[in-house]
Amino acid sequence: MAATVASKKSSIWRNARARREAIAAYMFLSPYLLVTIVFTVGVFMFAIYVSFTEFNLFSTPEWVGLKHYKSALHDIKFIRSLVNTLYYAIIVVTLQTILALLLAVLLNAPMRAKQFFRTIFYAPSVTSSVVISFIFLWLYLKTGYVNYFFSKIWSLGGAEWEAINWLNDPRGLFQLILAPFGVDIPSSQWYFRGPSITWMAIMFQNIFTTVPTFMIMFLAALQDVPPSLYEAASIDGANKRQQFFRITVPMLRPIIFLIVVLGTIGTWQVFDQVKLLTAGGPLNTTLTPVYLIFSEGLGINGPPRMGYASSRAFILGAIIFIFTPIQRRFIEQGTEQY
Amino acid sequence: MTTISTDSQMLKRTSEIKKENTMKRVKVIIRYLLLSLLGLIIFMPFILAFLGSFKTGAEIIAFPPTLFPEKWMWRNWPDLFNTDLGGSPRLEGSTSIGLIVGLFAFYATFFLTAMSNQQEGKGVPLKIGLPISILLIGITGYVISVYLGSSFDASLILRASTAIALMLLMLIALGIIGMSEPDWGRVLLSLFGSILVAGVVTWLFAQMAISIGGGRFTRWLFNTALLSVVRAFLQLIFCSMAAYAFARLKFPGKKFIFGFMLASMMLPGAVTLIPSYILIAKLGWINKFYSLVFPGIVVAFGIFLLTQFLKAVPRDLEEAALIDGASYFQIYKDVILPLARPALLTLFILQFQAMWNDYLSPLLYLNTPDMWVLNVALEVFKQQYVAQMNLVLVGAIVNALPVLVLFFFFSRYYIEGVSYAGVKG
């Protein structure tokens, strides 16, 4: 074994053509290698070092060992951001996967204007999150369309809708549900209050932009489901609902799995909407890890704490890393071995 | 008797078929109605925002909200371009714009001219050609650092890091051409010409950036468009080069590098956010376009997409070319690039959109009004015009339009790209 490896290796250096090919390959790869060694490997190594130091960009980094990692355990803000994200991940991933699948199935039927609808449905996904945020900021105003819509619905039932300040309302979901029963959750137990109204408003906005992307992925996967399965089922008298749950869902199981994983990875990295709409408020109910890393690392409210931010980034990275092996398996399935 | 019964049966059957057909038609109509309704709901925010952009500042926040503007304020749109946010343009920002476009011009010209029409050259040997080329690149690097010093008061570290980065990229181009045992007279001539072209382009774009002015909406549009186009183009060049190596060439360490690349795609950006900022700050690239272009000159996702595409394409043409004695660079330029055209277009569109819509990186690295891109500028714009939601909406729509238009024209390529997005992460 070792001998064959050695002979293979030496043949590269002996065989002029193989050598020429190898040198050419490295020439073609050199821009990538250059960039990745500096901006990925180098930066990653540096990040590990910084996370063990106290550093504010202008001082020389001061070694503090595991201090930042130990403090994470009782860093209320950081834990809060993780709990917020957990709520976010559960709600957003569930809803967006279901909605994307339903839309894809609806669009998959043979019809003439398929292209047109696909294009229309996909539009929110190509628009910048900044633009979407500003439009929703306006829709969510106390005098905006969302409150107007609810007031119309409520007036149908003869009730009065109390306008909500969507982007500045810390009341939690469970808190609201339990309030009519006279149960009040104290603020010390904020984690039982559930996602705040503001947080749910941002979730809705996020679902609006991510559903189309996942819908397209489902549509692509639906092409691979053999139509003969549906034909056989309909001959056997299965109705559409049965076909959906007995054929479509099982056949799409791998892609559903992938989309759940991708969606989860995405939800742990929410930043744009929070920065633009709430800056983590009200009462930290929309604080996310990436926003915390950004604001503490750059010193938005105080001196920059780069060591602190880097350590939090690694903890976040470790959480996301739990999901990546699954994603990796999918990529490798799509890649032939060399 | 029997004939009558079969007739009536036939009649019955045809009426059943007719019934079924009408049922089917009703179902189709319901489906279309449902889809139209969904489309309308999904498009509603855009429609409302578009109508809102023509309302007065008071009407737009009034309750109950109206659908159509009471008075159409056409003026909102031109007003956007007359905002007075920001200040005078700063020379250093404009210079960085010029040099980034210059880099692109260099690559385009050099790759196009150095290898075309292998005619009888002037017979300059490698021994003379290579040192002179390297000297030429060295001089260019020196000129760049002097130019950076003269056009504004740049720190030594900014001058050095920028000049070195540009020189390295030029040396790589030279190395790739040099691989194919070219006529060095031609290479020298082409190198000299490309540097001249790049110089002129650099100067022109720097002047253009200065004349557009700082802080105005036009300047932000210019910055965003330029950054998106140039970065996406550079990515096409560098990603396709790497993809060619991965998909077609044999070399030691290939499996490891490819595996590493796949792993790096899954590294969340948040992990390296802060240290990247420190590195860019130490390079002196804060508030320069280099900070966004150099790290993004080649992306793992792009290499992966192109590699997968190339592996599915038959290699007969290249094998024939290799037997005919074509060099690897010639094959890359004359066979691979034309073959990969659809995938390249997909990548360009996706990466153009990615840069145009990026918010976090520009927010981190660009911090004066004349250097902002639209996404960053809009936020400050919002704070400045807090009472004028209508102007903010106009700004948002202007920001969204180019990508939406591009999308409606090339939706096929987007959707092809998204089927790869399962691996984008």
Q: What is the ipTM of this complex?
A: 0.85
Residues A207, A218: Cα–Cα separation, whole Å? 16
Residues B279, B281: Cα–Cα separation, whole Å? 5
Residue A115 exposure: Cα atoms within 13 Å on the Cβ side = 10
Q: Does A108 touch chain B (CB under 8 A)?
A: no
* Maximum C-alpha span of chain A: 89
Tell me which chain B residue has its CA closest to the CA of residue A31: B238
Strands of chain A (E only): list them: 53-54, 62-63
DSSP state of A169: -
Is A9's pLDDT higher than 60? no
Distance of CA A26 to the CA centre of its chain: 35
Res A173: pLDDT: 87
Instruction: Output the average pLDDT for chain A.
Output: 85
Is A338's pLDDT higher than 60? no
Smallest Cα–Cα separation from A34: which of B153, B180, B171?
Answer: B171
Which chain B residues have a beta carbon less than 8 Å from that of A31? 169, 172, 238, 241-242, 297-298
**Domain coordinates in residue numbering, chain B:** 2-80, 88-214, 233-425
What homologous superfamily is domain A70-334 in, according to CATH?
A: MetI-like (1.10.3720.10)
Res A3: pLDDT: 44
Cβ separation B363–A275 shorter than 8 A: yes
Cβ separation A144–B297 shorter than 8 A: no
The H helix count followed by the E strand count for chain B is 19, 0
Res B386: pLDDT: 67
Q: Does A29 touch chain B (CB under 8 A)?
A: yes
CA distance A25 to chain B (A): 5
The verdict on whether omega for the bond into residue A282 sits within 30 degrees of 0, i.e. cis, is yes
Residues B262, A36: Cα–Cα separation, whole Å? 12
Task: Note whether B348 and B414 are within 8 A (CB).
Answer: no
Rg (CA), chain A: 26
Residues A77, A83: Cα–Cα separation, whole Å? 10
Q: For residue range A292-304, what is the model confidence (pLDDT) as tens digits? A: 999 988 888 778 8
CA distance A228 to chain B (A): 20
And the tokens for B305? 């997409």
Q: Does A326 touch chain B (CB under 8 A)?
A: no
Which chain B residues have a beta carbon less than 8 Å from that of A213? 418, 421
Q: For residue range A52-104, what is the model confidence (pLDDT) as tens digits? A: 988 887 788 888 888 888 888 888 889 999 999 999 999 999 999 999 999 99
Q: In a structure prediction context, what are the per-residue pLDDT tens digits for chain B, which is 425 residues long? A: 455 556 667 777 777 778 778 888 888 888 889 889 988 988 899 999 999 888 888 888 887 888 888 888 888 888 777 776 666 677 777 888 888 888 888 888 888 887 765 555 556 777 888 888 888 888 988 888 888 877 766 788 888 888 888 898 888 888 888 877 778 888 888 888 999 999 999 888 888 888 877 777 888 888 899 999 999 999 999 999 999 999 999 999 999 999 899 888 878 888 888 889 989 988 888 888 989 999 989 999 899 889 988 888 888 888 888 888 788 888 888 889 888 888 899 899 889 999 999 999 999 999 888 888 999 988 877 777 666 788 888 889 989 988 888 888 888 787 777 766 544 33
B233-425 fold: MetI-like fold (1.10.3720)
For chains A and B, count residue pairs whose Cβ atoms are closer than 8 Å.
304
Res B55: pLDDT: 87
Res B235: pLDDT: 93
Res B422: pLDDT: 47
Cβ separation A297–B274 shorter than 8 A: yes
And the tokens for B414? 């987007």
Is A2's pLDDT higher than 50? no
Cβ separation B332–A28 shorter than 8 A: yes
**Domain coordinates in residue numbering, chain A:** 70-334
Residues B40, B114: Cα–Cα separation, whole Å? 53
Q: Model's pTM, two decimal places?
A: 0.85
* Maximum C-alpha span of chain B: 109
Res A283: pLDDT: 85
Task: Note whether B411 and A122 are within 8 A (CB).
Answer: yes
Smallest Cα–Cα separation from B284: which of B161, B150, B152, B137?
Answer: B161
